[in-house]
Structure 1
Amino acid sequence: MTISNQKTDMSVFENYESEVRSYSRSFPTIFEKAKGYQLWDKQGKDYIDFFAGAGALNYGHNDDAMQQRLIEYIQSDGLLHSLDMATNARAAFLQKFNEVILKPREMDYKIMFPGPTGTNTVESALKIARKVTGREKVVTFTNAFHGMTIGALSVTGNAFKRHGAGIPLTYSMAMPFDDYMDGIDSLDYLEKMIEDGGSGIDLPAAVILETVQGEGGINAASFEWLKRVEELCHRLDILLIVDDVQAGCGRTGTFFSFEQAGISPDVICMSKSISGSGLPMAITLIKPEYDIWGPGEHNGTFRGNNLAFVTAAEALNHWKTDAFSESILSKSELFKKRLNQFVDEYPELQGEVRGRGLMLGIASAKAGLSGQLAEAAFERGLIVETSGPDDEVLKMLPPPMIDEEGIEKGLDIIEESIKAVLGKEEVTV
């Protein structure tokens, strides 16, 4: 998605920044301020945010309580950088995560800080699975996205991103995701391939999956399918890794996206909204029996982001009761009702509503249409992106703290954009 009618001077980015830049092309204005579910550019134009930092801002921009905790911590000369040395901020997060998230769900995991990004937590998960099992191969799924470093790319499906590695990506095998092929039971196929001595596939170390594929096109696996994957892994002594980097932290309604499926992954990858504020942070949750790392066997200079620990601990206050989770689910119903109306009222979209919670999208069979809709929406004051292997999905990730007024305004802009792109705008004389 590229917008030629730029709203402000973007020449500094064009002149000095690498061609690899992406979102500054999709949203070509210079943003100056953000609060809650809104952003403002240098010229004072306001935008509703249905993007939320690609899912890194589930609690909105510049939350008041998180801001205050940061100010207090900085003014107290608290450590900003500490590698994995013990700090008060680190201890506070570990204790609160255990008390607010793990214990109420009867979950027993060791918490690892692998580095600051989603791809770091995926790399650590792949390494621990191979270390535990002594096996090399990892099963991934069609349209998966797990990150941009070499190990994470090896379990990512997107051909364009894989090509960027510049080397063969090995030690993984892609299998069909839930409902990838009409009339084909993907798990029967997976089970047959793993158990058949003539398939050419070795017993894998792990299976890695997203419960809702974000970058892959908002493909939501059924709870039944997820449960069957877990059963297959347990039966064959394969570790189950759930990548909850984008779908976690309440995005689908519950803190972990797999809770409603009733499964218990061996390893869980989290980043994006785990810090609460958009500051870089990632964690890898490992069942204690698999936490067999040697000290320093996996490390990194920035695995001690104390500012992120401070805001992450504050963000966990949203999960002390069920109110936040319940509000996400009710807002999801409001969203889906309007999206289904769009699909019904504008058959030219050739659309299909996808997703779960506030991780939603409209997939269009019409080539290029979703990109046109995102462009038209930006021009009207809405930040929204596309996803899927052919950018065929208009992908909506509003911050779950958004109120109903913000939802309705954003959806009104989407409808206006649909009318504009389809040539159905009313002409006033």
Structure 2
Amino acid sequence: MIRTVEPHLFEWPTAFDRYVQDLWNAPEADGQTAAARLGSWYQGLMKQTGLVADALQKRCLHIAATICGDAYGLAGHADKAAWVSAAEGARMLGIRAERIVDAVRTGVMNGRLARSGAGHQHTIVSRSDIETTRVLRSLMLDKKRARELLGVGRSQFELLLEAHVVAPVDVDVRHPCVDGSFDRDDLTRTVTVIRKNLALAGAIEEPMLAFRDLSLRKTTDKKALLTVFRAIKSGTIQARCFDSEQRLGDALFSEKEISELLAAQGAPSGMTAGEVAQITGWRPECVTHWCAEGLIVSTHGRVGGANAWLIAPADLAQFQREYLVLADVAEQGQTTSRALISRLARQGISTVGAQAVGRTTRGHLLHVTHVAHLMQLSERLEHAAG
């Protein structure tokens, strides 16, 4: 089986090299590439697999490249250790080799483009440029990693971009082999400046607001919120608590100071129906229903991209002066809303504000004037009994 190729293998690699050169220089050989000049022999060799096949293929390409006058590799460079192929550089960086080829072609990376006798384009690149690019890649972050570094959510990060608190690197100066748009060092410097602008702690404790809570859930006025972000970056508003190991989202600011700046910018200071429900313990859907019915004076707007009812603190106080939530009264009297409704009906008193939910109702309100009437009735009954 190997008798016909035995002479080419036993005198390795001289005999093999000579055979390849003979094929290359044969009268019938035509073309400029190894595939064209070596013909079916070359094509058959390239289909083989295994260690021996690998050695023969590499040697064949080496001879073809040498005959062509342009070595397929690092030949021609005195310090071969200072150079790597584009493929090897790509493996070191974890990217596609085509990106390195383009960087060398455009002059961004120091390298050389060559075409071998086998018809393949070969690119070598400076090892030091690969190392520099590796460092650059570690410093550049995409949006997801930038948000994680800052400890903020997607929507808030977009607001920070709009406020120019953070900014991507200009596309014209980005390295073609580097992913991500945000310089980690720039983000870190911005956070460090905010941390150094720490305000002196006051003698009296005051409500605090975490940076991550500064969003369109806090106010519907985006313009006012952007002003707050800019004020924090410039140091006009200073953090009250921001430890060195905390992310920006964890930094605490004076809620009063933030609210005053929002109000100065014309931002509404109302609470959403959900926030009122959280404070009072009422059902959010009941608060929303009372707003829709006009029982709670409120305005309709958008918070965080969603429709919402906004309730001013003064309007909430007025509502509580006019109405009692029957569920709260029942809980205090250790009874049920259903039982109270029946007792009130016997006195000719109806509740208001109820919302039908399936076969039942919820959110019954009792006007305070009815409470006064019941108190007077109770006094008259006691007097009659006495």
TM-score (norm 2): 0.22
Q: Could you say which structure has the greater relative contact order, defined with CA pairs below 8 angstroms and 6 or more residues apart?
A: 1
Structure showing the higher helix proportion among its residues:
2
TM-score (norm 1): 0.21
